[in-house]
Amino acid sequence: MSFVSPEIFAKQKVAAVQDYSVLALHAVTNLFSGPRYWADIITQMDSIGFGSLPIIVLTGFFTGCVLALQSATSLQEFGAVSMTGNLVSLSMVKELGPVLTGLMVSGRNASGMASELGSMKVTEQLDAMRALGTDPVRKLVTPRLYATIFMLFFLTILADAFGIAGGALVSVALLGLNGSSYFHNSYQALVYADVVQGLTKPLFFGFIIATVGCYFGMTTKGGTQGVGRSTTQAVVVSSVFIIIVDLLVTRSMIGIFGR
C-alpha cells in the first residue's frame, strides 16, 4: 500500500465521490429513456431476486426465532410474555427485516457486480462496448439498478414474513403461547406508518447496493488483484452506507409519522 500526502488523499476521495455521483445520476436518468435492455433486466432479477431467496428466507426465519426467545426473556420480568408477537413483528418490519436483507444482498450481489464489471474493465471489454457504440452504463449498470431495487422490495417482505413465522414457531413450541393470539398481536401491533417505514428502506438500500457495486467494478485498476480489491471495497462501502442511510431514513420517518 502506497502512502500519499493528506492533500492528495483528500483530492482522491473527493474525485471518487464525484465519479460515483455522476455514475449514479447517469444510471437513474437512463431509467426514463430508451433503449431499455429488458432481457438483461430480467436476467438480473433472476440472479438477484431468486438467487438470494434461500439466504434471505433462512436469515429472516432464524432472526425471528432468536428475537422471540430474547423478547420473551425480557418480557417475562414484567409478566408480559404474551406481547412477544408485538415485539417480533415491529422489530422485523421496521428495522431487522430491511437491514438484514440489505446486508445479505450486499454481501452476495454487490460483490458479484463489482467482480463481474471489474473483470470486464481489466480485460477492456468496456472499451470494446464503447467502440461499438453501446453505453456501458445503460447496458450494465441500469439493468442492475432496476433489478436490485425491484427485487429487494419483495425480498424484504419475505424476510419479514418468515421472521414473524420463526417467532411464531418459537413462541408456540418453546414458550407455550397460543398461535392465534401470537398472530393477532403481531397484526395489531403494526400500523400504516410501520409498514411504510419498513418498505421504504429497501428502495434506498437497493439503490446503494447496485450503484456502489457497479461503481467499484467500473473503476477497477490493477488486473486480477484490482478485481479482488474492488469486490471487497464494494461490500464494505455498501454495508456502511446501508447502516448510515438506515439511521437517516428512520429519523425522517419518525419525524413524519411520529413513530
pLDDT for the residue 2:
62
pTM of the model: 0.89
CA dihedral 236, 237, 242, 243 (to 10 degrees): 70
Q: How far apart are the first and last CA of the chain?
A: 46
Domain that holds residue 159: 34-257
Distances (CA, A) of 63 to 28, 92, 97, 164, 216: 33, 8, 9, 9, 31
In a domain, 230, yes or no: yes
In a domain, 8, yes or no: no
In a domain, 29, yes or no: no
What's the distance, CA 246 to chain centroid? 10
Number of domains in the chain: 1
pLDDT for the residue 256:
86
Helical segments of 31-93, H only: 38-45, 51-76, 84-91
Of 215, 199, 189, which is closest to residue 249 (Cα–Cα)?
Answer: 199
Q: What is the DSSP letter of 33?
A: S
**Segments of the chain with pLDDT less than 50:** none
23-61: buried (b, 16+ CB within 10 Å) or exposed (e) per residue?
A: bbeebeebeeeeeebeebbeebbebbbebbeebbbebbb
In a domain, 191, yes or no: yes
CB within 8 Å of 118: residues ≥ 6 apart: 216, 217, 218, 220, 226, 227, 230, 231
Cell 478485481, residue located: 227
pLDDT tens digits for range 54-99: 999 999 999 999 998 888 888 877 777 888 888 889 999 999 999 9
Q: HEC profile for 145-184?
A: HHHHHHHHHHHHHHHHHHHHHHHHHHHHHCCCCCHHHHHH
In a domain, 106, yes or no: yes
In a domain, 12, yes or no: no
Q: Which long-range contacts (CB under 8 A, 24 or more apart) does 50-57 make?
A: 51/108, 51/109, 52/104, 52/105, 52/108, 52/109, 52/151, 52/155, 53/155, 53/158, 55/104, 55/108, 56/101, 56/104, 56/105, 56/155, 56/158, 56/159, 57/158, 57/159, 57/162
Asked if 69 and 170 touch (Cβ cutoff 8 Å), the reply is: yes
Return the ∠ at Cα 120 (arms to 155 and 105), rounded to 5°: 15
Q: What is the DSSP letter of 34?
A: S
